[in-house]
Amino acid sequence: MKFYKKVAVLLLIIPLFFSAFNISYGDENFDIKAKSSILIDYHTGEIIYEKNAHEKLPPASVTKIMTLLLTMEAIDKGKIGLKDEVIISTNASKMGGSQIYLEEGESQTVEDLIKAICLRSANDASVALAEYIAGSEELFVKAMNERSKELKMNDTNFENSTGLPHESHYTSAYDIALMSKELMKHAKIQEWLTIYMSDMKVGKKKDIVQSLVNTNRLIKDYQGANGIKTGSTSDAKYCLSASAKRGNLQLIAVIMGSETSKVRFEESKKLLDYGFANYDSVVIGKKGDIIGKVPINKGDKTHLEVVLKDDSYILIPKGSSGKAEKEIILPEVLNAPIEKGKEVGELILKIDGKSVDRVKLIAKETVDKAGFVNMFKKVVKGLLTNK
């Protein structure tokens, strides 16, 4: 298929990014008290700071980010619903560690189990959801590892849905950032991640009230905090994946292996503060924005409008200058039929000539093949136009 290229005029004034657009803070006086850590821009995935980011470490309950991700994806696919009743198995009811003390045979909605994971980090709720979605926790863990590979989480292997200690259960700060970014694409999850306190009735008779307090205290005392997940065991020590948003800029900070709970929160704030103090996020285009039109051959429409599949942003250091351009790649013509949402091109964002982001362009609507009458009208119109 032949393509044409179109380069837009100057979009905004921004700087040339650092080498390979991978930014690692170089001041030796800036250090994070953790075995490993990372700070990324949510929209672009650009690394702002990293320390031992690919070291394989036990993640404790931060594991549940993947459990929540698979749950949200199952909801989006229509496989399960928020109001579905989940019968608690013997296996789920016997989970140790952090839990909400579910009884064997009681039922809980998918929504309440999600809430129990987001606030209490409940192991019993995690296993109950895993079993409901996949049929067994073992099959769910298999799906967790398959999804990890799809997200290019190359430092990760899961052995359970909870994060309970296992010698072959590990991940890295970088991989946690990847799955955190993917989870936060589901806007609905933020409704539960940002609850600070709530109650939940448990037991077969629903006669016991569990008071849930969010284990992520940043939700209460850090401006813009909107997630995500804490974790701690004797092996993993204290871990956290924290997300916060101010204006257009959303950041994800991951801490692994801090000595105390207090330190993990302090160091997460330190990373987030650095990001918000030194960077801005600029919107280039929003999901659904019309980017251009492509002529249609033998279709019931003459042209197809193409739109951005996702939002497009640039991460920029504050107070810098440079040049940004966008390049739009589209086919000269498309043959009908074309389904709504079909990928038909690409928008490439460049900083001083270097590509920093690529966003797929998709069909805004379906275009069917033209019928006989429609084709006849086009032929007649063409003949009249050529006279």
181: left (phi over 0), alpha (psi -120 to 50) or beta: alpha
337 cis-preceded (ω within 30 degrees of 0): yes
Residue from 36, 37, 61, 243 carrying the catalytic annotation: 61
Cα of 215 vs its chain's centroid, Å: 21
C-alpha 82/C-alpha 41 separation (Å) is 30
How does strand 290-297 pair with strand 334-335?
parallel
Sequence-ordered alpha helix ranges (H) in the chain: 64-76, 90-93, 110-120, 123-134, 137-150, 173-183, 189-193, 218-221, 261-278, 372-385
Give me the amino acid identity at 101: Y
Q: CA–CA distance from 357 to each of 155, 285, 327, 372 (Å)?
A: 24, 12, 11, 43
Give the closest residue to 356 by CA, choosing from 7, 2, 16, 3.
Answer: 16
Looking up tokens 């077969």, which residue turns up? 204
Residue from 36, 37, 51, 64 carrying the catalytic annotation: 64
C-alpha 219/C-alpha 222 separation (Å) is 6
Residue from 37, 89, 121, 172 carrying the catalytic annotation: 121
Tokens of 128: 């109950």
C-alpha 122/C-alpha 61 separation (Å) is 9
Q: CA–CA distance from 60 to each of 141, 215, 233, 241, 325 (Å)?
A: 15, 13, 6, 11, 43
258 is catalytic: no
Cα of 240 vs its chain's centroid, Å: 16
Helix (H, G, I), strand (E, B) or coil at 79: coil
Give the closest residue to 148 by CA, choosing from 173, 118, 127, 178.
Answer: 178
61 is catalytic: yes
Looking up tokens 């700087």, which residue turns up? 15
DSSP 143: H
Looking up tokens 């871990």, which residue turns up? 239
C-alpha 22/C-alpha 45 separation (Å) is 10
Q: Would you please indicate which residues are annotated as catalytic (active-site) residues?
A: 61, 64, 121
